[in-house]
């Protein structure tokens, strides 16, 4: 029997998802033995024309990482969608927009202007910007179009499953691959990770007080946190309450608070709104006489860049992004 | 009618790229362009974010060398918040950085650049990858690579939080210390890593230097450019990845500048072309003269060979003797042959391994004073490290609350962008004659950029213990073309 054909592709991403696949170590042997990898630019010398030459649906599954930032990425993911039975959004950028999605706080023009005109090292008196088409003496050179906004993968093509994380951990990757190969998949649209929130998994959970109160807000460089206490109790913003578990609390174990790369749990539509509500409920305002409204406002204002923090990995797929752009 | 050849996407590198080659009526190369079709715009979208988050945001510029961005950002925060890291924190940072360098260099040589030499530049595309490498060098050698990589990455995961996108860097220190037990384990791994780096150099000798065809390619004119070189050096002008001053040497090998990171604006400028999203840095003092080499052109190169050219030697003994051997063999400094980047990379891997061992042996590494809390008002900070792919600049400006108002980044590979374009054109011109183009020749054009921006691996195969293994390789018609077997 012919082996299942598998493709890996990256859009606006950093290569971390590709490293995550390599970090499967010995397990990747099982994967390579069970499937036929037909496209993987970082590792194998297949080109776009090889994919174009394939029949529709010929690829069993395409794993696509990265956000959608330009027209070439849109074209290739549509091509892969056509040629693939299943499409899995692999990693935070593809799942939710990821860190490149923070660009949706800024206009397209502002990004181009900064990069090519006003950055302090740039010398560009003729105000040249990258062009979709440039006539050179020998012929035309073309570039993909830098889009107005960054999109998550499912805002461009139909996505069957999501593997969360920046980057996804090895056990979840292997779990997904095994489920696909065995045809043992949950309902379409599922995120292939545990359902509970990160707080439920947190190694500091045991010492968490019964009623968690956040009395002040600090930034990571301002205090040395107790390595056993809940970060929120210490005044440090930690996205644990608004984030899906499954990452093995990797950042928390290094004594740094969560930034939410796994995205929200199933019941939550908007990770940032969930985080705002979580903070509001622990600020200790209710029944705490020492907190005047001014005091409350003062504390809340200490949250530096709430939007960029609460939506660190999910802005393009959030409600905020929809409201801003429509 | 002139003919056009497009290579899209270019492969076995990290990121996106395209090559357009134009042939004239005789079928010779009229011109060739190396295009980068992507921009993400970190310089703008980091604005309005808290500066203290930058070590965790800028790691997403590159997941292959996230440690380089993490460390450049962390050092920039030291400068921005006017705080020195504690001695223990500084050592922890440099230790993790050394581990990262040896691991990343190994990855490139074995998985990305390696297939071109080990399997052969014009081997079939289906074999020119890590599986082909395993077939050639044998499972024992490949297993050594996987095992070393795994052990090194485990140390970074434990101390840095995550191997992909570490989180431990803070202004004035690090978030987590090292225990004595961990230190002892790191010493063991470091000793093995020094041996491993020597093994890689031996492999390079056996596979590449003993093969006349490859040596001819390395020293030949197709892959050669007389350019300026830049790299970070310590107070003895020895290569340093973590800290020091930036030194620039001319194509003739003369020092023309030596400056602190904070003065980079006086020395580096960037040119823009309409046909690529990548910018083209050049030496301000010489100026932008187009995609040409020589003393008159401000084009400079960075990364392993450039660092060795720009320094007076290596700070550790084994690497120093390999440094001398390389320059003796290739005819003295500076070496302009682009493919020699591969050799220089292995000399650096040995230095990084030796430095890892030195730092791991230092009792101060396990100190508990790992952070100085900043007290000054933040304003502006500049930080530089040597990433595997070259000098990496981070530059932030903030308001008094440490909220970013300006960000400028010159990422390692960007420094080499003009040189990569030139190398692609020269390789294409030298290889494609009279319209004679084969897939193998086009791969040899791609080799010109792979020497600079090696990059991420592919299907890594860990080869544990006694586990039997069979890997089958198929072509696009499902025909079995190769079986790699281990009982």
Domain boundaries, chain B: 82-376+418-458
Tokens of B293: 């080499």
Q: How far apart are CA B87 and CA B93, in angstroms?
A: 10
Do the beta carbons of residue B392 and residue B410 sit within 8 Å?
Answer: yes
Contacts of A246 (CB under 8 A, 6+ apart): A164, A165, A169, A172, A193, A194, A201, A262
User: B453 falls in which pLDDT band (50, 70, 90)?
Assistant: low
pLDDT band per the 50, 70, 90 thresholds, residue B464: very low
- Residue B247 backbone phi and psi in degrees, to 5: -120, 135
Q: Which of B77, B164, B265 sits opposite A120 (nearest CB)?
A: B265
Higher pLDDT, B41 or B241: B241
Chain A residues in contact with B128 (beta carbon < 8 A): 45
A105 to B48: CB separation less than 8 angstroms, yes or no: yes
Q: Share the mean pLDDT of chain B.
A: 89
Q: Give the model confidence (pLDDT) of A220-238 as tens digits.
A: 999 999 999 999 999 999 9
Confidence of residue B457 (pLDDT cuts 50, 70, 90): very low
Judge whether residue B485 has pLDDT over 80. Answer: no
> What is the Cβ-side half-sphere exposure of residue B135, based on CA atoms within 13 angstroms?
19
Of A125-139, B102-116, B188-202, B448-462, where does mean pLDDT reach its minimum? B448-462
In whole angstroms, give the CA distance from residue A16 to residue B268: 29
Backbone angles phi, psi at B17, to 5 degrees: -160, 160
Output the pLDDT for position A210: 82
Q: Is residue A319 over pLDDT 50?
A: yes
Nearest CA in chain A to B442: A45
> Is some CB atom of chain A closer than 8 A to the CB atom of B376?
no
B482 touches chain A (CB under 8 A): no
pLDDT of amino acid B15: 64
| Fold classification of B82-376+418-458 (topology level) | Cytochrome-c3 Hydrogenase; chain B (1.10.645)
- CATH number for region A1-193: 3.40.50.700
- Residue A40 has φ and ψ, to the nearest 5°, of -170, 85
| Structure confidence at residue A322 (pLDDT) | 52
pLDDT of residue B468: 29
Across the range B471-487, mean pLDDT stands at 42
Query: What CA–CA distance (Å, rounded) separates A99 from B56?
Result: 10
Residue ranges of alpha helices (H) inside A42-140 are: 48-52, 71-83, 92-96, 108-113
**Residues A14, B59: C-beta atoms closer than 8 Å:** yes
| Among B21, B24, B36, B41, the residue to mutate for chain A (most A Cβ within 10 A) | B41
Distances (CA, A) of A2 to A35, A260, B127, B131: 9, 40, 20, 20
DSSP state of B89: H
- CB neighbours of B474 closer than 8 A, spacing ≥ 6? A3, A36, B126, B480, B481
Mutate which of B127, B164, B473 to disrupt the A interface (most A C-beta within 10 Å)?
B164
| pLDDT tens digits along B147-201 | 899 999 999 999 999 999 999 999 999 999 999 999 999 999 999 999 999 999 9
Q: Can you give the length of chain B in residues?
A: 487
Tell if the pTM clears 0.90, that is, is over it: yes
Tell me what pLDDT residue B461 has: 24
DSSP H or E segment with residue B319? helix B317-330
* Chain segment B224-256, per-residue pLDDT in tens: 999 999 999 999 999 999 999 999 999 999 999
Q: What is the 3-state secondary structure of B117-151? A: HHCCCCCCCCCCCHHHHHHHHCHHHHHHHHHHHHH
Interface mutation target, options A42, A149, A222, chain B, most CBs of B under 10 Å: A42
Question: Which of B340, B390, B306, B371 lies closest to B62, judged by CA?
Answer: B390
Question: What's the token pair of residue A43?
Answer: 């590792």
* Residue from B413, B243, B225, B392 nearest B309 by CA: B225
Q: Is the ipTM of this complex over 0.90?
A: yes
Dig out the tokens for A64 from the structure. Answer: 């696509």
Which carries the bigger pLDDT value, residue A238 or residue A292?
A238
Q: Which residue of B has its CA nearest to A113?
A: B44
pLDDT digits (tens, 9 = 90+) for B338-383: 999 999 999 999 999 999 999 999 999 999 999 999 999 999 999 9
Helix (H, G, I), strand (E, B) or coil at B85: coil
d(C-alpha B91, C-alpha B68), whole Å? 16
In the predicted model, is pLDDT for residue B2 greater than 60?
A: no
Comparing CB atoms, the residue among A12, A129, A222 nearest residue B373 is A222
Nearest to A254 among B111, B167, B374 (CB): B167
What percent of chain B lies above the pLDDT cut of 90? Answer: 70
Say what the pLDDT of residue B475 is.
43
Of A201-215, A263-277, A288-302, B24-38, the poorest mean pLDDT is in A288-302
pLDDT tens digit sequence for B268-305:
999 999 999 999 999 999 999 999 999 999 999 999 99
Domain boundaries along the sequence of chain A: 1-193, 198-317
DSSP strand pairing (A84-90 vs A59-65)? parallel
The Cα–Cα gap between B113 and B342 comes to 8
């Amino acid at each position: 029997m012919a082996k299942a054909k598998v493709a890996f592709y990256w859009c606006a991403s950093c290569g971390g998802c590709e490293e995550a696949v390599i970090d499967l170590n010995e397990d990747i042997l099982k994967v390579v033995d069970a499937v036929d990898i037909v496209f993987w630019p970082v590792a194998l010398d297949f080109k776009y024309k090889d994919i174009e030459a394939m029949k529709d649906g010929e690829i069993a599954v395409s794993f696509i990482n990265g956000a959608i930032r330009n027209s070439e990425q849109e074209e290739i993911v549509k091509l892969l969608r056509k040629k693939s039975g299943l499409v899995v959004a692999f990693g935070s950028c593809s799942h939710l927009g990821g860190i490149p999605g923070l660009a949706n706080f800024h206009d397209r023009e502002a990004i181009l202007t900064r990069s090519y005109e006003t950055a302090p090292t740039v010398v560009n008196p003729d105000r040249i910007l990258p062009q979709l088409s440039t006539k050179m003496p020998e012929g035309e050179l073309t570039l993909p179009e830098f889009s107005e906004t960054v999109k998550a993968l499912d805002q461009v093509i139909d996505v069957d499953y999501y593997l969360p994380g920046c980057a996804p951990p090895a056990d979840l990757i292997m779990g997904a691959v095994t489920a696909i190969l065995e045809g043992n998949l949950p309902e379409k649209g599922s995120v292939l990770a545990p359902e509970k929130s990160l707080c439920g998994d947190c190694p500091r959970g045991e010492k968490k007080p019964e009623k968690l109160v956040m009395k002040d807000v600090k930034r990571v460089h301002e205090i040395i946190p107790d390595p056993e206490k809940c970060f929120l109790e210490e005044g440090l913003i930690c996205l644990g309450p608004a984030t899906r578990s499954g990452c093995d609390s990797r950042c928390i174990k290094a004594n740094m608070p969560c930034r939410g790369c796994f995205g929200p749990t199933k019941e939550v539509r908007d990770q940032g709104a969930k985080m705002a509500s979580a903070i509001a409920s622990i600020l200790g305002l209710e029944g705490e006489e020492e907190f005047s409204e001014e005091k409350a406002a003062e504390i809340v204002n200490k949250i530096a860049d709430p939007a960029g923090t609460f939506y660190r990995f999910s802005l393009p797929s959030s409600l905020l992004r929809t409201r801003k752009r429509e | 009618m002139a003919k056009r050849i497009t290579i899209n996407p270019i492969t076995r590198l990290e990121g996106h790229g395209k090559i357009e080659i134009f042939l004239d009526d005789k079928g010779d190369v009229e011109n060739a362009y190396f295009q980068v079709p992507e921009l993400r715009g970190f310089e703008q979208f980091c604005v309005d974010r808290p500066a203290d988050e930058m070590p965790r945001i800028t790691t997403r510029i590159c997941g292959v060398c996230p440690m380089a961005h993490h460390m450049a950002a962390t050092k920039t925060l030291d400068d921005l918040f006017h705080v020195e890291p504690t001695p223990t924190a500084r050592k922890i940072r440099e230790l993790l950085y050394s581990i990262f360098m040896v691991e990343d260099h190994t990855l490139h040589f074995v998985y990305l650049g390696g297939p071109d030499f080990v399997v052969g530049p014009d081997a079939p595309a289906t074999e020119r990858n890590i599986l082909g490498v395993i077939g050639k060098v044998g499972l024992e050698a490949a297993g050594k690579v996987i095992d070393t990589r795994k052990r090194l990455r485990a140390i970074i995961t434990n101390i840095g939080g995550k191997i992909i996108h570490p989180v431990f860097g803070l202004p004035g220190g690090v978030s987590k210390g090292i225990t004595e037990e961990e230190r002892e384990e790191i010493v063991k791994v470091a000793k093995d890593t020094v041996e491993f780096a020597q093994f890689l150099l031996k492999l390079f000798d056996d596979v590449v230097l003993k093969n006349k065809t490859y040596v001819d390619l390395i020293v030949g004119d197709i892959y050669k450019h007389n350019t300026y070189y830049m790299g970070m050096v310590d107070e003895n002008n020895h290569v340093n990845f973590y800290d020091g001053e930036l030194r620039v040497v001319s194509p003739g090998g003369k020092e023309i500048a030596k400056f602190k990171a904070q003065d980079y604006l006086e020395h580096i400028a960037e040119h823009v072309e309409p046909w690529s999203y990548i910018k083209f840095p050049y030496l301000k003092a010489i100026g932008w003269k187009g995609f040409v080499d020589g003393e008159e052109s401000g084009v400079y190169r960075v990364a392993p060979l450039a660092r060795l050219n720009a320094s007076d030697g290596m700070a550790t003994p084994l690497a120093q003797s390999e440094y001398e051997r390389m320059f003796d063999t290739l005819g003295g400094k500076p070496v302009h042959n682009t493919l020699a980047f591969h050799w220089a990379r292995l000399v650096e891997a040995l230095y990084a391994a030796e430095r890892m061992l030195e730092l791991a042996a230092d009792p101060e590494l396990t100190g508990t004073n790992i952070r100085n809390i900043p007290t000054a008002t933040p304003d502006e900070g500049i930080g530089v490290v040597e990433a595997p792919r070259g000098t990496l600049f981070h530059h932030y400006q903030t308001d008094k609350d440490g909220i970013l108002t300006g960000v400028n980044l010159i990422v390692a590979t960007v420094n080499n962008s003009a040189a990569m374009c030139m190398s692609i054109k020269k390789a294409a011109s030298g290889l494609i004659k009279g319209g004679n183009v084969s897939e193998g020749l086009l791969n040899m054009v791609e080799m010109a950029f792979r020497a600079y921006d090696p990059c991420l691996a592919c299907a890594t195969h860990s080869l544990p213990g006694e586990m039997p293994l069979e890997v089958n390789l198929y072509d696009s018609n499902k025909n079995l073309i190769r079986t790699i077997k281990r009982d």
